[in-house]
Amino acid sequence: MFDLPDSWVWDFWFADDGTRYHLFFLYASRALHDPDARHHRASIGHAVSDDLVSWTRVADALVRGDAPAFDELATWTGSVVRHPDGRWFMFYTGARLESGGRNVQRIGYAISHDLHTWTKSPDSVLEADGRWYERIDSSQWHDEAFRDPWVFADPDGEGWHMFVTARANEGPVHGRGVVGHAVSDDLETWRLREPLSSPSDAGFGQLEVMQSEIVDGRPVLLFSCLGEHSSPTRRARFPKGAVWAVPSNSLTGPFDVGAAHPIADDELYVGRLVRRRDEEKWLFIAFRHLDDEGRFVGGVTDPRPVAWEGDRLVVG
């Protein structure tokens, strides 16, 4: 379990250097008093562990840039992969207030040789494209959702894929959340593609913090969505939101988001799948979302096993 007594901790992601596990996480000071204010004060912290249970905090990874940087408001959720030449790439969300104070999100990256000292690329590498994705000039949503990059190597060895939390430019307001998609040959130059899912009346306003993995031989997509950002039928069952899973035939989709099922209690949010390097089984880690009185909690849980029950991935 990982908590900070003086800060809220929420979204997180992992890297494994072969010796230690690295936890990268969003955090903001509790001196803000209002946990809803944490998003505009988020930095990316860093902790290390030998067992995914006991964590030691080390120096922070990234902080927001100086204006007019694309990440001048905050640095948000991302993922880490290793280039074949040994460099580590951290892809992350940069947020900036534009268009009357509304939040616009773009994707950037930083490079490290040791997972501790990171050097940012000065400019973003991806932003929403109105051919497929909703832009800030739409009145349908409170921000330009284009964040939470999940990057992984192509399963056939042909470059890299990035999934992005994005919204389609058409469809029901609370069902426009789609799997944004981009590809790259070298991790530095990216080409945005059309989404890998479609809007749905039984869907979600946004698919936060996606991850695609093969669990016990079966591909699955994980994401989260708050109740207030879900379609009415989803919101009625999970008013706090939930972590959702979508079985698939491939790591790269396409994905039937309307078939998503919850895999964890609604007290948890942003579920991640991870494996200990000496074990085959997959584990689930999340952050603690809201308590019984609806107050934000924060902090990263201990790992729990996952398994398939028929066509549903469940957490033990």
Checking if the pLDDT of 211 tops 90, the result is: yes
Q: What is the mean pLDDT of residues 283-310?
A: 95
Checking if the pLDDT of 178 tops 80, the result is: yes
Q: Are strands 304-309 and 146-153 parallel, antiparallel or unpaired?
A: unpaired
Residue 61: other Cβ atoms inside 10 A: 23
Residue 1 lies in a domain: no
Checking if the pLDDT of 65 tops 80, the result is: yes
Quick one: pLDDT band at residue 208, thresholds 50, 70, 90? Answer: very high
Residue 107 lies in a domain: yes
Question: Which residues touch 34 (CB under 8 Å, ≥6 apart)?
Answer: none
Q: What is the mean pLDDT of residues 153-159?
A: 93
Q: What is the mean pLDDT of residues 276-304?
A: 93
Q: What is the mean pLDDT of residues 93-100?
A: 91
Checking if the pLDDT of 138 tops 80, the result is: no
Residue 209 lies in a domain: yes
Q: What is the mean pLDDT of residues 207-218?
A: 97
φ and ψ of 40, to 5 deg: -90, 5
For the chain, the residue count is 316
CA atoms within 13 A on the CB side of 267: 8
Q: What is the mean pLDDT of residues 89-103?
A: 92
Residue 204 lies in a domain: yes
**What is each CA distance from 204 to 149, 155, 223, in whole angstroms?**
18, 27, 10
Residue 144 lies in a domain: yes
Checking if the pLDDT of 266 tops 90, the result is: no
Checking if the pLDDT of 99 tops 80, the result is: no
Mean pLDDT of the chain: 96
What residues pair up with 15 in beta bridges, in sequence order?
Answer: 22
pLDDT of residue 279: 84
CATH code: domain of residue 307: 2.115.10.20
pLDDT of residue 134: 96
Quick one: pLDDT band at residue 187, thresholds 50, 70, 90? Answer: very high
Which tokens belong to 68? 């007019």
Checking if the pLDDT of 50 tops 90, the result is: yes
pLDDT of residue 145: 96
Element at 313 (helix H, strand E)? strand 312-315
Residue 132 lies in a domain: yes
pLDDT of residue 262: 96
Checking if the pLDDT of 139 tops 80, the result is: no
Nearest alpha carbon to residue 95 among 83, 105, 87: 105
Nearest alpha carbon to residue 282 among 255, 250, 245: 245
Q: What is the mean pLDDT of residues 30-45?
A: 96
Range of the domain at 35: 7-315
Residue 211 lies in a domain: yes
Q: What is the number of domains present in the chain? A: 1
d(Cα 252, Cα 41) in Å, to the nearest integer?
33
Residue 2 lies in a domain: no
Report the percent of the chain where pLDDT is more than 70.
100
Nearest alpha carbon to residue 194 among 152, 107, 133: 133
